[in-house]
Amino acid sequence: MGDQTGIYSKADHKDFLSTVGLEPAVAGIVAAGGSAALAANAACLVRVKAQRAITVNQLLWVCGTQSGNYDIGIYDEAGTRLWSKGSTASPASGMVTETVSPGVTLRKGQAFHVALVADNATATFRATTLVSAELTKTLTGKPAAVTVTSSFPLPSSLTVGTATVLRIPLVVIRES
C-alpha cells in the first residue's frame, strides 16, 4: 500500500521488469507460448530502460531445447559489457535462474541491453515472435531488439547496430 503522496515503499512496490514489457500479464502470455530458435553465434540484444534505480542480481529465462552452449549478459547502451555468464553448457528444458554477481547497478532512465546467444541453431528459448520488423520498433522508431552476428561467447564490447530481430526472448530482470 502507498502513502498519501502515492509513493510506495520498496517493501510493497510491485514493479516488474522484463525484456517483453513491464506488466506481469505480458510475460505470462509469452511464457505460455512457443519457443524460438537462435541463429548460431548471433546474439539477440533487447533494449530495456530502468524505470527506477535498480541493481540487477538475477536474470530468469526459459530454456526450450537443450543444445550446445549459451551465454547471457547485460550491456550498456554503447555496447560495453557490464556482466555476462560466459560460455555455459545449455541447461535442461525449463526455468533458468542466472545469478548476476556482482550485481549491475543502473540509474533511473538508463537504457541497457539484455543479450542472449547460443553457439548453435537448435537451442531454443521462450520468446515472442513477431511477423514484422515494424512491430518491434519503439516510439522513437528504433528497434526494441536487434541481432549481432559473431557474438559467441559475448564479447567485452560490441556494436549494437540496427539489424532487427523478430524473436524477443523473455528474460525477467530482478533484484534479489
Report in angstroms the alpha-carbon separations of 170 from 22, 28, 73, 88, 102: 12, 10, 14, 19, 22
The structure's pTM equals 0.85
The mean per-residue pLDDT over the stretch 4-15 comes to 48
Residues 115-133: tens digit of each pLDDT? 999 999 999 888 877 766 6
* Exposed / middle / buried, residue 39 (Cβ in 10 Å: 0-12, 13-18, 19+): middle
Q: Please, what CATH class does the domain formed by 10-174 belong to?
A: mainly beta
Q: What is the CA radius of gyration of the chain?
A: 16
100 band by pLDDT with thresholds 50, 70 and 90: very high
Q: CA 113 to CA 3: how far, in whole Å?
A: 33
Mean pLDDT for the stretch of residues 32-42:
73
One-letter amino acid for residue 66 of the chain: Q
Amino acid sitting at position 151: S
Residue 139, pLDDT score: 62
pLDDT at 158: 96
Task: Please state, rounded to an integer, the average pLDDT across all residues of the chain.
Answer: 83
Which tops the pLDDT comparison, 13 or 39?
Answer: 39
What are the extents of the domains in the chain?
Answer: 10-174
